[in-house]
Structure formats: C-alpha cells, structure tokens
Amino acid sequence: MKISVIVTNYNGLHLLQKNLEQIILTSPQSNEIVVTDDCSTDDSLLFVSELQKKYHKLRIISHKSNLGFGKNSNLAVNSCQSDFVVLLNSDIYPHNNYLLPALKHLSYSKIFGVGFSEKGHENWANLFWKNGYIQYEPGTDISQPHISGWLSGGSSVIRKEYFLRLGGFDEVYAPFYSEDLDLGFRAWKSGYKLLWDPKCVVEHRHEATMSKFPKRFLDYVKERNRLLTVWRNITDPQLLKENRIYMFLRCLSGPNYIKIIRAAKRQIKYSSPQIVFPKLTDKEIFKLFS
C-alpha cells in the first residue's frame, strides 16, 4: 500500500514552520510528503528546500501562477504514484498514528476516503436539504466511525483511483470553498462511501492563509459556490423547483443576491461538465443521513 501526503500551501511560511516537520514525523507509512505551492511570494519554498536536505522523501511542486485550491490539489494528486493520498492544509498538526485507523477502512473497496477528527471540533458532516439548498451541520455521534457527507480537502485520506475517476475537485469553485462538499456528493451519488473516524486525530489550528483575503470577497465566493453546489449536483425536479423559489425569495429580501446568481451562471458557462456516475438519487443520499 503506497501513500502520499500532500500539503497545500500559499504564503504559509509560518504554518509550514509550525507543522510540516510534525506532518513528516507522524506519517511514517507514507512514501512521500509533497508540498504543493500555489505561487507563494514569501519564503515558503526556501524553507521547504532546506528541510528537504534532512527529509529526502519531501518533494516540492511549485506553480508559476496562482491556480486556486482545487486545481493546485488536483495537479498534486495526479503527480503521485501512490494508491492513497492524504490531503492536509498547512495549518493541520497531526497526532501520532493519525493515519492507522483510516487505512483499515480503506481496505474495503467501496470506501472513497476517510475524514480525520479535528481536536476540539470532532464531527462529521451531516447532510440534509432545506430551504432550497444543500445544507450540512456537525454530526453529533462522535463515539465511533460514521458516514460523512463530505471529507475535508485539508484533513482526510482518499483513494487516488476514485478521486481521479470523478475528475478530482471541480474547478468551477475556484479559487476556493465547496470543492470538498461537491466531491463528497458526487462520490455518494456514484456509489462510493465516505467515513469519518474519531481515532484519526489531528489539530486544525485555523490559521489558513485565506484569512488574508477581504471578508466581503470571502462571503461573496461562499454564497456563489453554495448556489453552484445545487446547480452542479441536484437533478431531482422537486428539489430544483424549491431552489428556484428560495432564490426568488432571497432576491426579494436582498437584491444583491441577483449578483450571486449572475456570478454563478458565468462560472458554469466556462466550466467543464460535471463528472459523476449516478447510482443513488439526490433524495436517497439525503435519506442516508436522516
């Protein structure tokens, strides 16, 4: 069983200094640790290059332009020669043996991947449909492994073959947000299974470099991508009708939502078709979590 660990980075020197060596030391099962850098302008690459002299299984991918989280991750996964890929944000600090419980689950062929338990925020994603949108909330049964609506793109391990079959993270959501929710929904719809395990313990220190973006821009991208997850994934006529009704109501209560709708339409216009192999319906997926 070959395993690659991918650490995504964008101007996260201070995070790499805190966490990268811990990631290396707590991932002895891995064949390589890949830092995929999305055109950082700080000294991230210099730091990783120096650490590479000490840890020879450390590999660097460096992009000459900023690609966004989805494309950056997709290219990194494609470059790996492993069966399984661990996806970590640069602000993740893993505990010892965080990978072992997940690898046991991955011996079952239908398992797409396993989400890690973030200390202090131990939960899995409970999916449901409400008010015309795909909704999620923290799952409350955290005493044992549980199905999860999606796996965090920065705190999970996935089966590379299935990830590539579904086309990886949909780049329609660039620059970030909702890629993992979308991929999780497509994985469930294609007949795969997603798990979360409380024994796969990591610390998420929530120092993500996205905090450097203006809040107004982040809110705009979140709302646009929230709408895109419906348009890209939901095919049930009744649910789509509900979405149209609630979009109309949101436009009445806040005219700025018209801009969100227009932005989502522009994003889809220049995007490739969704990759999914339908086996479950939308309602069957939501019923799994009811």
The confidence score (pLDDT) of residue 86 equals: 98
The confidence score (pLDDT) of residue 175 equals: 86
Name, of 173-177, 185-189, 254-258, the range with top average pLDDT: 185-189
Reported confidence tier of residue 216, pLDDT bands at 50, 70, 90: confident
Token duo for residue 229 = 């997850």
Lowest mean pLDDT among 58-62, 94-98, 255-259: 255-259
How, if at all, do strands 84-89 and 92-94 pair?
A: unpaired
C-alpha distances (whole Å) from 163 to each of 83, 157, 172, 180, 286 are 11, 11, 16, 11, 22
- pLDDT at 209 exceeding the cut of 80: no
| Rounded percentage of the chain residues whose pLDDT exceeds 70 | 98
| Greater model confidence, 19 or 214 | 19
For residue 51, the 8-state DSSP code is H
- pLDDT at 188 exceeding the cut of 60: yes
Reported confidence tier of residue 211, pLDDT bands at 50, 70, 90: low
What does the alpha-carbon distance between residue 161 and residue 83 come to, in Å, rounded to a whole number?
7
- Interhelix angle for 215-233 vs 257-269, to 10°? 60
| Greater model confidence, 215 or 9 | 9
Give the number of other CB atoms < 10 A from CB of residue 78.
Answer: 11
- pLDDT at 212 exceeding the cut of 70: no
The confidence score (pLDDT) of residue 1 equals: 85
The confidence score (pLDDT) of residue 205 equals: 77
| Rounded percentage of the chain residues whose pLDDT exceeds 90 | 87
Residue 171 zone, left/alpha/beta (φ > 0; ψ -120 to 50; rest): alpha
Radius of gyration, alpha carbons of the chain: 19
The set of residues, in sequence order, having a beta carbon less than 8 Å from that of 107 and lying 6+ positions away, is: none
- pLDDT at 207 exceeding the cut of 60: no
Per-residue pLDDT of 34-87, as tens digits, reads 999 999 999 999 999 999 999 999 999 999 999 988 999 999 999 999 999 999
Given the structure tokens 């199905």, which residue do they identify?
A: 147
Domain locations along the chain: 3-211
The confidence score (pLDDT) of residue 206 equals: 66
**Which among 43, 38, 32, 30 has a CA at the least distance from the CA of 1?**
30
Token duo for residue 147 = 């199905």
Reported confidence tier of residue 223, pLDDT bands at 50, 70, 90: very high
Instruction: Give the residue-averaged pLDDT of 170-176.
Output: 91
Tell me whether residue 88 is exposed, middle or buried, using C-beta atoms within 10 angstroms of its C-beta: 0 to 12, 13 to 18, 19 or more: buried
DSSP-derived 3-state class of residue 84: strand
What does the alpha-carbon distance between residue 231 and residue 166 come to, in Å, rounded to a whole number?
17
- pLDDT at 210 exceeding the cut of 70: no
For residue 121, the 8-state DSSP code is B
pTM value is 0.94
| Greater model confidence, 132 or 213 | 132
The confidence score (pLDDT) of residue 54 equals: 97
CATH architecture of residue range(s) 3-211: Alpha-Beta Complex (3.90)
Tell me whether residue 165 is exposed, middle or buried, using C-beta atoms within 10 angstroms of its C-beta: 0 to 12, 13 to 18, 19 or more: middle
Per-residue pLDDT of 110-168, as tens digits, reads 999 999 999 998 999 999 999 999 999 999 989 999 999 999 999 999 999 999 999 99
Token duo for residue 12 = 């996260």
